[in-house]
Structure 1
Amino acid sequence: MERSRYKQVKTKRGFNYSYYFSPPATSKPVLFFAHGFPGGSSFWRRQVAFFEPLGYGLLVPDLLGYGGTDKPTDPKLYVGSGHANDFLDIFAAEGLEQVIAIGHDWGSFAVSRLVNHHPQRVSACGFLAVGYFPPVLQNADLITRSPEASEIFGYDIFAFMRFFVQPDAATLIEKHIDSFIGLFFPESPYSWTDHLCVDGGTQAWLEGNKTARLPSYMTEEDKQLLKDSLLNGGLSGPLCWFRLQIDEANAEDDATISSTAREVVQPLLFIPFTEDLIAPPVFGDTAMDRFAKGPVTREEVGGDHWAVQSHALEVNDTILRWIQGLSVADLGRPEETT
């Protein structure tokens, strides 16, 4: 991604955001891509390389805690309404009325809250791996649901999250960053059931300074880019996305979203990945069945949680066909509902 296309804006909350922006050709929409953990805006480099030559506008920020964006360490600052309002400030800087918003991993959480709080600014929304992220309806979180999920899937699907919210998690990851990358980006996704999805497995892997071969889609240059991005500012900020889930501020913030605003009326694309062990398709399907009230497109893609990179051609083609199939009637302007 061309560094000259990166810009900076200070939001009303006082945070400096770094974002990649490429203006659209005439009549083309702007695609807003929101990344998850642990990558920054460069996570979408294969999507940028695909959609930019086609004339689509691209707005790809380093989300709060990442890259060239500020990295506060108070999880309360990572509430959904905060992200949504920050995004509006970025839109204003570029004179954008609407975007097609697409998220992956925690980026799906951020896109979901943008849809909840400012639906009129999102003409359509896409969710990759992690589906639409409904507001919590009570003080519950993914981590406390871990035993229940283990019974369903046969392994401790959220075990790594219990480590990520520990006070020393950031320091340990930073100390063993190569080991962390080897664990989180495995050659085979099924290694996660032996380490990442085992109680204490992530910490044991790091403390043992274990290493693993890089997956085929990640070059040494890719690894170094990710490594430098994470170590420049540390892991405390990125881990706040997890820590928020056990902070009462998350439920309090979500409680401000009305029952109507929880529903998604925009055209919705859900791309689950068939070998994703930490975001099984059933999660996204369940949320979509309950909250999606507009046109829905669901299309599976092979690969694990990182199929956005490993199966980029298939993912990109799926997104493109979905966008090209959106009608003028589909792309109405939802009313503000919060």
Structure 2
Amino acid sequence: MESLQSGYKEVSVSRGYKYRYYFSAPEPGKLSLLLAHGFPSLAIDWRYQIAYFKAKGYGLVVPDMLGYGGTDKPVNHKEYLHSLLAKDLVDILDHERVTNVIAIGHDWGSKTTSVLANLFSERFLGFAFFAMGYMAPNPSKTYEELQEEITKAVGYNTFGYWGLFAAPDGAEIIEKHIESFWDLVHPKDPRIWKYNTCPPGAARVFCQSDTRTPRDPAHQELQPVYEKEFSKGGWVGPLSYYKVALDGDAEDSKKIPLENYTIKKPIFIGCAKKDVICVPALSKSVAAQFCPQATIEEFDTGHWVLTDAPDEVNSALDKWINSIVA
């Protein structure tokens, strides 16, 4: 982690926000990877991928996403529209004069990567998604309609926790019950999400009652970093991704032409078999409809596949990259 910290740079994007990002230039003849994290993560959550692909000569651009770490943290959730975030990332690539790039996302980073594919497809060789697959634009369905649709498809509501994360008091509750929150985010047994995160109201009860559950030891290395960065930056920015999903995303999706919903570039989707929120069947269904060049791999982990199966992830991703640029 020491070498990663020393590789950070800063730039102000065209709309004025400062981004902090890890940068490593590609070796001659090698392409670059743009890595976009989700909630509640940081650029450093890609550390295993950074180490692996840097050693192979790939270029790397890995930002703390807006609201996180060393990047600016606006309080207006409309500043987190994914069309704006996508343009921010393109601005960083332009600043570093990066070409021949593949965009890769995890969790909410998959949503931003999806919009990169919708609006800036010509800038990229391909797109990869982990845990959450490609997310097609949603110009009309309400939160309630999405809950009903997913409940019908998988047998239970996977979106219930949004009620806490998008709530006006969400940041306050997390700050007051931070240990329970981190237990819930990084549980040793990922299956507890089905009962303590997915049902409406369950995440709020878990945190406010200071319920504890064993954490996944794979995340303990980063816990001091999380505690430092999130105590300093707060939770208003990170939770804005949920607020804008409920208030703004539908209008933002209308900016995307219908013909851009289908992604014609090569796609890699890394599903996590034990993820009960980003259910693999849903990602596969969307890919079948909108991603004609999709390669789908499944990993025997929960949501945090980048950390829980780094060797398998890196190997599969490297193999796919070589197959599309050969």
TM-score (norm 1): 0.92
User: What 5-or-longer segments of structure 1 have no aligned partner?
Assistant: 329-338
Conserved? CA contact 2:191–2:275, under 8 Å? no
Residue of structure 2 in register with 1:158 after alignment: 159
Matches within 5 A, 1:115-126: 115-126=117-128
Q: How far apart are residue 227 of structure 1 and its match?
A: 2.2
The residue type equivalent to 1:301 in the other structure is: F
Matches within 5 A, 1:66-145: 66-141=68-143, 144-145=145-146
Conserved? CA contact 2:139–2:252, under 8 Å? no
Residue of structure 2 in register with 1:305 after alignment: 303
Counterpart CA distance in 2 for 1:7 and 1:215 is 31
Question: Identity across aligned pairs (percent)?
Answer: 35
Structure 1 residue 222 corresponds to structure 2 residue 222 = yes
Counterpart CA distance in 1 for 2:83 and 2:130 is 21
Q: Deviations over 1:283-335 (max 9, x none)?
A: 21121111113x2211111101011111111111110111111135xxxxxxx
Conserved? CA contact 2:272–2:299, under 8 Å? yes
After the TM superposition, which parts of structure 1 deviate over 6 Å for at least 4 consecutive aligned residues? none
Q: 2:15 aligns with which of 13, 16, 21?
A: 13
Residue of structure 2 in register with 1:245 after alignment: 245
SS in 1 for 2:258: coil
Residue of structure 2 in register with 1:269 after alignment: 268
Counterpart CA distance in 2 for 1:149 and 1:266 is 27
Structure 1 residue 281 corresponds to structure 2 residue 280 = yes
Counterpart CA distance in 2 for 1:217 and 1:3 is 20
CA distance 1:11–1:120, change in 2 (3 Å): same
Q: How far apart are residue 246 of structure 1 and its match?
A: 1.2
Q: Which moved more, 1:208-217 or 1:16-25?
A: 208-217
Counterpart CA distance in 1 for 2:151 and 2:269 is 24
Q: How far apart are residue 77 of structure 1 and its match?
A: 1.0
Q: How far apart are residue 144 of structure 1 and its match?
A: 4.4
Q: How far apart are residue 190 of structure 1 and its match?
A: 1.2
Counterpart CA distance in 1 for 2:71 and 2:145 is 30
TM-score (norm 2): 0.95
Conserved? CA contact 1:98–1:120, under 8 Å? no
User: What 5-or-longer segments of structure 2 have no aligned partner?
Assistant: none
Question: How many residues get paired?
Answer: 324
Q: Deviations over 1:147-173 (max 9, x none)?
A: 442344333311111111110001110
Q: Deviations over 1:122-162 (max 9, x none)?
A: 11110111111111131434x54224423443333111111
Give the RMSD, CA atoms, in angstroms.
Answer: 1.4
Counterpart CA distance in 1 for 2:155 and 2:140 is 26
The residue type equivalent to 2:233 in the other structure is: G
Conserved? CA contact 2:130–2:305, under 8 Å? no
The residue type equivalent to 2:114 in the other structure is: S
Conserved? CA contact 1:269–1:296, under 8 Å? yes
Q: Which one has the bigger helix percentage?
A: 2
Counterpart CA distance in 2 for 1:101 and 1:152 is 29
Q: Deviations over 1:220-263 (max 9, x none)?
A: x321212222222111111111111111x322221111112222
Q: 1:315 aligns with which of 313, 316, 322?
A: 313
The residue type equivalent to 1:182 in the other structure is: D
